[in-house]
Amino acid sequence: MIVQFLVLLGEAKTPEQVTAELESLVGSYGFDFYSLLIQPLPQLNLQRSILAAEWPANWTELYTQRKYSLIDPTLRWLRLAQRPFRWKDALLTLKADPHRQRMKRMLQEAARHGLHDGYLFPVHGRNGLVGSFAVGGNPVDLSPAEISLFDAAAKAVFWKLLELRHKADIFENAPLSDVQLTRREMEITLLLANGLTSNEIAKELDISSHTVDWYINGLHEKLGANNRQHLIALAFRLALIA
């Protein structure tokens, strides 16, 4: 089915055709909902926006009203993930997070709106994370091969819609940052951006607070930051985190 979708995607001439084929694909695998998003790119002054979506009624409004984006475990893991992942696995991965109970309540509320489980597929470009594709609803067990095919479909449909909407050049010509963070530096910067203290970060990553401070001092020097708030702002501006 996905291979056929990729063929039809290549032949599509309008965003409406792409969306129709995407909805057909999602439904054929038993998923009720999906979203294809552009992730924030501060250096291009781009906010998170929707390319295509079919989400439960009132869920988006509730998500925004309760500021779930601050504690959404799938969104937190998306910022670090290099590969697709299942929603429920994101919460397991963040088991030491100080906001874990709020995360669980958010997922319970999502389930009441029909979002019981799903998968998230990151889309990366020249400067890291540029988009994401989510499918969800009732639990569906995808095989590893199906996950890989969905991952290919996510990337293809993301760039196809950008192309048809004449936005692809914005991403493809985005300026590259000369600064690169290690995985540990990225983890610490993300946790700082989420408001955690050195002690909380140490607990989250199972390292000492002294080690956390050592990394933060190194990040200050690497980015030329004056303090932690400045560090976070620079990391967003350079698209080192999203």
* Predicted pLDDT at 46: 64
161 and 198 share one domain:
no
* Predicted pLDDT at 233: 78
Q: Is residue 37 part of a domain?
A: yes
120 and 210 share one domain:
no
* Predicted pLDDT at 41: 65
Q: Is residue 216 part of a domain?
A: yes
The CATH number that applies at residue 46 is: 3.30.450.80
131 and 208 share one domain:
no
96 and 199 share one domain:
no
SS (H, E, C) 176-241: CCCCCCCHHHHHHHHHHHCCCCHHHHHHHHCCCHHHHHHHHHHHHHHHCCCCHHHHHHHHHHCCCC
* Predicted pLDDT at 242: 62
201 and 168 share one domain:
no
What's the structural domain count of the chain? Answer: 2
Structure tokens at 171: 């991403």
Q: Is residue 242 part of a domain?
A: no
* Predicted pLDDT at 158: 96
158 and 190 share one domain:
no
158 and 223 share one domain:
no
* Predicted pLDDT at 177: 62
161 and 193 share one domain:
no
Q: Is residue 177 part of a domain?
A: no
Among the three residues 172, 202, 218, which one is the final residue of a domain in this structure?
172
Q: Is residue 214 part of a domain?
A: yes
Among the three residues 120, 145, 172, which one is the final residue of a domain in this structure?
172
* Predicted pLDDT at 195: 85
- Residue 115's domain comprises 2-172
229 and 135 share one domain:
no
SS (H, E, C) 117-154: EEEEEEEEECCEEEEEEEEEECCCCCCHHHHHHHHHHH
Per-residue pLDDT 10s for the chain (242 aa) are: 899 999 999 999 999 999 999 999 999 999 999 999 988 765 556 667 899 999 998 999 999 999 898 889 998 888 777 799 999 999 888 877 788 899 999 999 999 999 999 999 999 877 678 899 999 999 999 999 999 999 999 999 999 999 999 888 777 666 556 677 888 998 999 899 888 999 999 999 999 999 999 999 999 988 888 888 888 878 876 767 76
166 and 230 share one domain:
no
* Predicted pLDDT at 164: 94
Q: Is residue 44 part of a domain?
A: yes
166 and 218 share one domain:
no
pTM, whole model, 2 decimals?
A: 0.74
The CATH number that applies at residue 194 is: 1.10.10.10
Q: Is residue 121 part of a domain?
A: yes
* Predicted pLDDT at 133: 98
52 and 165 share one domain:
yes
* Predicted pLDDT at 77: 86
